[in-house]
Chains A and B, each alone.
Chain A
Amino acid sequence: MNRRWIPRLLGLVIPFLAWEVASRTGLMHPVFLPPFSTVLWQVVTLPGEVWPDFLSTGFEIVVSLLLTGFSGVVIGVVLAQSEKLDALLGALMWFFYAAPLVVFTTFFIVTLGVGPGVPICLGIMSGIVFVIASTRDGVREVGKDLVNVGRVFGANPLELALRIVVPAAVPMIMAGLRIGVGRVLVGVIVGEFFASGGGLGYLIVRYGNELDMARVYAAVAWIVFTSILLNTGFARIERSFVTWRPV
């Protein structure tokens, strides 16, 4: 333990204390900014109150992450094989990257209907570009020597990809996944805002309409927790994958 925990703790305590005081004294209107203690209580009780929404958001995140990771890596490996294909699909990819997510919600609502499909798709669309791009670059950087090793010892194209090229690109792929994870989460929540009958994003909109700000902040807090959990989880997975160092 080092001594940084004291300023770190103060960095959290002081703003929360100021928040509590501002709300209690009426400096901030308690409807818009309920006291910190009230919000904290909601954070604790919210999962018990609306557990199906927690489950559906969790489900959407997991499905979205799995699909983003798997298809992102596959597409990235394919794009790395051909400059022409990359040029062809690259423009489309950057279109997705540059366009604000929300513009696709209407399209997904029309095609998929209101339900978990919309947040899942928005999650994939938000995160996949990062996985594709870093996989593609990682695969391209795999040395010709390693590829030749595979060829000399009889690897067919699939074995070459699975035993040599993808493992060699794992550090880059993991970096892309870690960036993608945060985006997937945002995509899922935004999707829930607009087009689902449940989930934390949906709750934020509903509570907001009811001016139940304490519950809004509690839901936001849970999203932040999830984000932190996913980020540290992925950082840990990344490290465990990359115990070896490049020679």
Chain B
Amino acid sequence: MARIAVDRVSMAFETDNEHRFVLKDLSLDIADGEFLTIVGLSGCGKTTLLNLIAGLLTPTSGAITVDGKPVTGPGPARAVVFQDASLLPWRSVLRNVELGVEMQKRYGKEEIRERALAHLETVGLPDFANAYPHQLSGGMRQRVNLARALIAEPDVLLMDEPFAALDAHTRESMGYELQRIWAESRKTVIFITHSADEAVTLSDRIVVMGRPPNGIIANLDVGLPRPRSMEVRGLPRFAELSLEIRELLSKAGARS
């Protein structure tokens, strides 16, 4: 389990010799085992924030710590579920899942294989171990993407709009399944989306980001009972929160 602290982090990208700040003095704390969702419009810096926590980017200033240890690069405690499934097309599904753990030199070949099969079971794809990514649907690829992250046994799961490219029905059922997997493992999850409904359905807490470099414009506790199923969408609290997020987003969008 891991507690994440983002402390006054700024991130600037160089464009035509000028610094353009995507994030400015952003601070955020995430508790052990918390499911936090970041909602924001395209270009608000949410993916940048996730990549900073993953260690794929280095902040211009400020610091990020996981359990008190500063993040200096990618590490085995943090796994990413990528927006585009980004599976290796020349590897079978099973070998793609194995990639998540094989470079940590933690287990032997046999053990890795067993674990990969078990994780394919978890994400509901036990029969597709020998298939290749191009033979899978978008939803199935995202399941493999998730299995690859889970097999690394991370304390933190960083999910960058993993269901954005899926059709509405698949997207919703993947959400409930993610909730089930999360409930079993209690990992700390940071989930990015631009869907207000998806955020409310999944999260303990929602952070809304405005236009860069405004950063966080709202911090909302969801407070809906778990486990959540489709019925949660009928609750007044769901509608209220979803509306609030939509209003925040449209206000942020209108300010341009």
Contact = CB atoms under 8 A, between A and B. Distances in A.
Interface of A: 143, 145-146, 148-156, 159, 163-164, 167-168, 170, 244-247
A149 B89 contact: no
Q: Tell me if B's interface is mostly helix, strand, loop or mixed.
A: loop
Given A152-B78, A153-B104, A247-B89, 13 more contacts: A145-B84, A146-B88, A148-B82, A149-B82, A152-B74, A153-B100, A153-B101, A153-B148, A155-B103, A163-B99, A167-B90, A168-B90, A245-B134
Contacts of A145: 82, 84, 86
A232 B133 CA distance: 29
A154 B76 contact: yes
B190 interface: no
B73, B88, B132, B141 interface centre (most CB from chain A within 10 Å): B88
Nearest to A242: B90
Contacts of B82: 145, 148-149
Nearest to A171: B90
Contacts of A159: 103
A156 B105 CA distance: 12
A28 to B, nearest CB: 54
Interface in B74-95: 74-76, 78-80, 82, 84-90
A111 B18 CA distance: 53
B56 A148 contact: yes
A148 B103 contact: no
A152 B80 contact: yes
Contacts of B38: none
B134 A247 contact: yes
Contacts of B85: 247
Interface of B: 51, 54, 56, 73-76, 78-80, 82, 84-90, 99-101, 103-104, 132-134, 141, 148, 152
A154 B89 contact: no
A154 B134 contact: no
A164 B99 CA distance: 10
Contacts of A146: 86, 88
B76 to A, nearest CB: 6
B86 A151 contact: no
B88 A167 contact: yes
A164 B88 contact: yes
Given A145-B82, A145-B84, A152 B56 contact: yes
A68 B133 CA distance: 32
Contact of A148 (B86, B88, B100, B133): B86
9 contacts: A143-B86, A145-B82, A149-B86, A153-B99, A154-B103, A154-B104, A163-B99, A246-B89, A246-B134
A170 B90 contact: yes
Given A148-B80, A152-B79, A154-B74, A247 B133 contact: yes
Contacts of B86: 143, 145-146, 148-149
Contact of A247 (B78, B79, B101, B141): B141
Which 4 pairs show the lowest CB-CB distances between chains A and B?
A: A145-B86, A154-B103, A244-B90, A244-B89
B99 A149 contact: yes
Contacts of A247: 85, 87, 89, 133-134, 141
Given A148-B82, A244-B132, A247-B133, A153 B103 contact: yes
Given A145-B82, A148-B56, A247-B133, A153 B89 contact: no
Contacts of B141: 247
Most A CB within 10 A of own CB, among B54, B74, B79, B90: B90
Nearest to B84: A145
Nearest to B54: A152
Nearest to A146: B86
Nearest to B148: A153
A56 to B, nearest CB: 37
B96 to A, nearest CB: 9
Nearest to B136: A247
Contacts of B78: 152
A246 B90 CA distance: 8
Contacts of A170: 90
